[in-house]
A and B are shown apart, each in its own frame.
Chain A
Amino acid sequence: MNRLFFIFVFLSILLQNFSKIYILLRFEMNQDYIEKNLCIKKDEPDNCCKGKCYLNKQLEEDEEKQKPQTSDNLKEKEDIQYCESVLTTLLGTFELTEIVSEYILTASLGIGISVFRPPKV
């Protein structure tokens, strides 16, 4: 059981970081091509970048892709869900139904001032 749990946790961690590991591996394997063709300093004689600018760009893009699932967005989603659940508890659930009747259609949409009169003593 412990072994299974360990494998599950290990795989979860691995999968979470898989895209980054994959990007790093791909960079390592194709670095010579990237350095000569895609690096912003490719034409400089002493290229100290060696294609790392491309790697950083790829990692940033990956971070961007993963953003909707993390940090601020996730917190915002949690806040909305919390408010919804509080309102549901307080007010109960109700359905919004469209009522179609002649009375409502012909009713005045303005405020009936005549209604707001002080009562006769």
Chain B
Amino acid sequence: MPTIYRYNRIIILTGLLVVAVISQAQELFPHNEPASNLPKRVIGIRPFFKAYPELGVVRQMYALRLMYGLTPKLTIMGTISVTNHHGKDLPPNLVSHIHSGTQTVYSTNNIQRGIKYPYLFSGIYLYAKYRFITVDRKNEHFRMAAYADWSNVGVPHDEAEPSLMDDTKGYGGGLIATYLKNHFAASFTGGFIIPGHYNGYSPDPGSPDVPTRIQYGKAAIYNLSFGYLWFPKQYSDYGQTNINLYMEFIGKSYEAAKVTQFGYVNVPIQTPLLEKGNYIELHPSVQAIFNSNLRIDLSIGLPIVRRSYARFYPVFYLGIQRYLFPKLKKKTSKTKENE
């Protein structure tokens, strides 16, 4: 094949990958995954940061996510994170007991907030998404995907609400449906979380720490995302900066936690932290994509229906993402000679 055609092919293929990534820019939701996938062999790197003020202390999470387009229909991701959300053990008064005569009365209580905790490595969170419905038209598409996620996070999380990425181990799954037309995109994610348990120790002042097990509540998640491509109104080149606006509703319902001490004592749940609950948060976001590659997301999370007891509000989010496109094979000296 003549050299000029080979190079043209490389440029066209790379261009197609870029187009595949940015042509649906308004569905690159900061908090939810769309049903669309990364193109095959494209790598995505996303360092991101979350923070919220908690009575004088700023709780922070630093995370790094790697994404890979295994096939055009299958994307896999891995995330690691470091947070100062939890101590090394359960908080002192979350689970306690008092001796009354010959009886021991166990209780769960609200913990003291605003305590400084060290930064701890949370664990590994894995996610895979398979697109199984694709209906594409000009400037319009509808796609559906199924996802599964798993985590080995083992921090002493002190609320019933599970969160696989940074609070609880376990697994989950669900469906994603995404519709895009012109400048608008909408996506719904419905799923479940089957969390694992935490085995650790609860401090008991004046006595040895008490072996404590917390089984977190199973959860259903229902997220709705809307995206709007604000700028440019019409593309003139791939280097143009994109500005996207998002409105994401994040909802979760979860069961109460089960707390066991010494392996056989079921501690009654008396705090909203460990009771069943549900909430919906609103996360308005703005996103800028530079040179079709560098993506910056900024958002703020607010409670609109009840609240999550796992955090305080507002929740600030900053994410930076970059795509690495595969190097297409260059001509070797042998092929040159053959030509």
- A32 CB within 8 Å of chain B: yes
Contact check, B303 vs A37: say whether CB atoms are below 8 A apart.
Answer: no
Residue of A26, A32, A33, A37 touching B314 (CB-CB under 8 A): A26
Shortest C-beta distance, A47 to chain B (Å), equals: 16
Q: With a CB–CB cut-off of 8 A, which chain A residues contact B272? A: 36
Q: With a CB–CB cut-off of 8 A, which chain B residues contact A38? A: 55
Contact check, B313 vs A29: say whether CB atoms are below 8 A apart.
Answer: yes
Complex interface residues of chain A between 13 and 51 (CB less than 8 A to chain B)? 25-26, 29-30, 32-33, 36-38
With A32-B307, A37-B110, A37-B113 as contacts: A25 and B312 at CB distance below 8 Å: no
Q: Which range holds the interface residue count of chain B?
A: 10 to 19
Contact check, B314 vs A25: say whether CB atoms are below 8 A apart.
Answer: yes
Shortest C-beta distance, A59 to chain B (Å), equals: 15
Contact check, B110 vs A30: say whether CB atoms are below 8 A apart.
Answer: no
Q: State A37–B309 Cα separation when bound (angstroms).
A: 13
Contact check, A26 vs B313: say whether CB atoms are below 8 A apart.
Answer: yes
Complex interface residues of chain B between 268 and 309 (CB less than 8 A to chain A)? 272, 302-303, 307, 309
- B173 CB within 8 Å of chain A: no
Shortest C-beta distance, A19 to chain B (Å), equals: 12
Q: With a CB–CB cut-off of 8 A, which chain A residues contact B92? A: none
- B47 CB within 8 Å of chain A: no
Chain A binding surface, main DSSP class: helix
Chain B residue at minimum C-beta to C-beta distance from A29: B313
Q: With a CB–CB cut-off of 8 A, which chain B residues contact A33? A: 113, 307, 309, 312
Q: With a CB–CB cut-off of 8 A, which chain A residues contact B302? A: 29
- B200 CB within 8 Å of chain A: no
Q: With a CB–CB cut-off of 8 A, which chain A residues contact B55? A: 38
Q: State A33–B303 Cα separation when bound (angstroms).
A: 13
Complex interface residues of chain B between 312 and 329 (CB less than 8 A to chain A)? 312-314
Q: With a CB–CB cut-off of 8 A, which chain A residues contact B313? A: 26, 29-30
Complex interface residues of chain B between 104 and 156 (CB less than 8 A to chain A)? 110, 113
B-to-A contact residues, CB < 8 Å: 53, 55, 110, 113, 272, 302-303, 307, 309, 312-314
Shortest beta-carbon contacts, A-B, top 5: A29-B313, A30-B312, A37-B110, A29-B303, A30-B313
A-to-B contact residues, CB < 8 Å: 25-26, 29-30, 32-33, 36-38
Q: Can you list 18 A-B pairs, Cβ within 8 angstroms, ordered by A?
A: A25-B314, A26-B53, A26-B313, A29-B302, A29-B303, A29-B307, A29-B313, A29-B314, A30-B307, A30-B312, A30-B313, A33-B113, A33-B307, A33-B309, A36-B110, A36-B272, A37-B110, A37-B113
**Given A26-B312, A29-B307, A30-B307, 4 additional A-B pairs, CB 8 A:** A29-B312, A32-B307, A33-B307, A37-B110
